[in-house]
Chains A and B, each alone.
Chain A
Amino acid sequence: MNSAELTLPATDDAQERYFQELIDRDSRIEPRDWMPAEYRTSLIRQISQHGHSEIIGMQPEANWITRAPSLKRKAILMAKVQDEAGHGLYLYSAAQTLGISRDEMAEQLIAGKARYSSIFNYPALTWADMGAIGWLVDGAAICNQVPLCRASYGPYARAMVRICKEESFHQRQGFEILLELSQGTAAQKEMAQDAVNRWYWPSLMMFGPPDDESPNSAQSMAWKIKRFSNDDLRQRFVDMVVPQAEVLGLTLPDPELAWNEDRGHYDMGEIDWAEFHEVLAGRGPCNAQRMQRRRDAHEDGRWVREAAAAYAEKQAAASLKAAS
């Protein structure tokens, strides 16, 4: 039951006031509630991009499933990548409640019209990348996503609750991979350090541009879709991983990292935003490869989906006939 059913404001103005009231009261907006058109579009954009990121994000790790160095690690990695497919499904379903179809979203993704998180345009070159991705990339995702569990749009918030639970396992298994490597042979430790060196900065970029250059943030925060600024979340992430890196016995590739007593936070060096914009513009190391793989899976699977649809239709027709 949602509150929109209790009172039925007649005019657009009244509806808008009522919508804002719900937001201000920290109530949830549900699919059948009235909402401003821009709220709807901005949510569709954010949720579908988030879904696409889960789907494309399967690829760097899927790259190591067949080569995982122990059966236990292979099983954990399979389960993890499979979880990400599940996250994609939850998010696509949440976006569907706003009036976009799954086919539309799939088409937008393979046509290159939709964005996904740029982090997945970096290559997973060694086994240690499975550790660094879990620890840093899933770790950054958690920092971004935990506040989304309180996002104003109900279906999105509920999807995020389920996703965040699984993401914390992902981060833990990544951390364990790195710990095992850093306590292993010299070659393993070197592999771990190399992976952390390559994934650290890209993971900081996952929080998006600095606050003063973030065009969509202000409105998202007013609508309580977003609750903390990019820079706040980034700081939170850095504060979390610095002590964890110490436990791992690995260093983070930022010479300016230092505890700032006054602020009660770690100071950090300047992010290379030029690189960020390059990757965002489609010129990252794996943009083309990731898109190609998604297109291939989509095209190669077309005849299968068509068969399933045709079969379902025939079954429905048959049971209709049987009933009449």
Chain B
Amino acid sequence: MNDGAPAHPDGHGHVDVAKVTLSEEIVDRASVASTDVAEYATWLGDDALILAQQLGWWISRAPELEEDIALGNIALDLIGHARSFLHYAGTATGRSEDDLAYFRDEHEFRSVHLVEQPNGDFAHTIVRQLLMSLYLFELYRELAGSADATLAAVAGKAEKEVDYHRDHASQWILRLALGTEESRERLLVALSDLWPYVEELFRDEPLHDVLAGIAVRPSGLREAFDRVLTDLFAEAELARPRTPTTSGGGRRGQHSEYLGYLLTEMQVLARRHPGATW
């Protein structure tokens, strides 16, 4: 019988504000990143930050209360990852996570175009989340074995959380694909809209060579990513979209038009009060 205290809807556990602290791995170690490692940590941090910023919009607007909570949980996890990576990146130049998040301009960000794509309808948000979660899961799993102890520690913790994110997104892909005609139609649109941004995730950059043993070479993650996706698409009776690849360039600071607006909103208050603490 229902006693008025529901089990948590998605089994992810409830987060309360007292638990929001910077990952201890980072705080305890106080290690300083080299310039190259800092650059790499910025890539990781920016992807997580931009995606968290996007998901934050949904809280109070989701299709049902359970999703307000689930998307909020995912956003919280991502912002935790972003803080850890950006904090570490900042140690190279004496900057804080907030200096990096709030006082860099658009061209100084290193996020991929996929996370910059707008929330769209729920199908777009879920497809973006699925693609990123599958990619991040493979990435963090490898990075957990990095020769850089800090990156390895953050990735090890993040891997478990991202595993939940990909499960959440996969469940929704099935529901939307096999639910109603409308949901399937919307899902197909979202898939073809976002598919062009997948390629960029797996593109190797010169920095990956420089950081051999520390950074994860993304091209090597593609096979595992494809395998998981193929299984999911088979279950969801979906075909892989055929839309062409875009040029990307996020890792070199070349972004979509969307990022400027996102940063403007995110940074406005912090920039109005430079030097203030909050």
- Taking beta carbons and an 8 Å cutoff, which residues of A are in contact with B? 31-32, 55, 58-59, 62, 65-76, 78-83, 85-86, 88-90, 92-94, 96-97, 127, 154-156, 158-159, 162, 166, 169-170, 173, 177, 180-181, 184-185, 187-188, 293, 296-297, 300-312, 314
Contacts and interface: CB of A to CB of B under 8 A. Distances in A.
B79 A71 contact: yes
B183 A97 contact: no
Given A82-B76, A85-B69, A308 B179 contact: yes
Given A67-B265, A78-B72, A85-B68, A158 B59 contact: no
A297 B59 contact: no
A93 B2 contact: yes
Contacts of B98: 70-71
Contacts of A155: 2-5
Interface of B: 1-6, 9, 14-20, 22, 49, 52-53, 56-57, 59-69, 72-73, 75-76, 79-80, 82-83, 86, 97-98, 101-102, 121-122, 174-176, 178-180, 182-183, 186, 265-266, 268-270, 273, 275-278
A82 B62 contact: no
B87 to A, nearest CB: 9
A303 B268 contact: no
A75 B83 contact: yes
A70 B86 CA distance: 13
A116 to B, nearest CB: 14
Residue of A71, A79, A94, A181 contacting most chain B CB atoms (<10 Å): A71
Contact of A75 (B2, B60, B79, B122): B79
Nearest to A60: B60
Nearest to B174: A311
Interface centre among B1, B15, B56, B86 (most CB of A within 10 A): B56
Contacts of A93: 2, 4-6
B265 A78 contact: no
A81 B18 CA distance: 13
The secondary structure that dominates the B interface is: helix
Nearest to B9: A89
A180 B277 contact: yes
21 contacts: A66-B56, A69-B273, A70-B278, A72-B22, A74-B52, A80-B17, A82-B68, A89-B6, A90-B4, A93-B4, A154-B4, A156-B4, A177-B278, A184-B277, A185-B275, A297-B60, A300-B61, A300-B122, A307-B179, A307-B180, A310-B180
Given A82-B59, A154-B4, A76 B65 contact: no
Contacts of B82: 71
Contact of B268 (A67, A94, A300, A305): A67
B183 A303 contact: yes
A-B interface, 8 closest residue pairs, ranked by CB to CB distance from nearest: A301-B63, A155-B4, A307-B179, A94-B4, A307-B183, A82-B72, A304-B63, A62-B60
A311 B60 contact: no
B93 to A, nearest CB: 17
B17 A311 contact: no
| Residue of A31, A59, A70 ringed by the most chain B CB atoms within 10 A | A70
A307 B69 CA distance: 19
A107 B98 CA distance: 42
Nearest to B19: A79
Contacts of A314: 178
Contact of B175 (A68, A127, A180, A311): A311
A181 B278 CA distance: 7
Contact of B5 (A81, A127, A159): A159
Contacts of A59: 60
A311 B179 contact: yes
A187 B2 contact: no
B72 A154 contact: no
Given A90-B5, A93-B5, A159-B5, A187 B61 contact: no
B251 to A, nearest CB: 22
A18 B55 CA distance: 52
B6 A79 contact: no
Contacts of A187: 273, 276
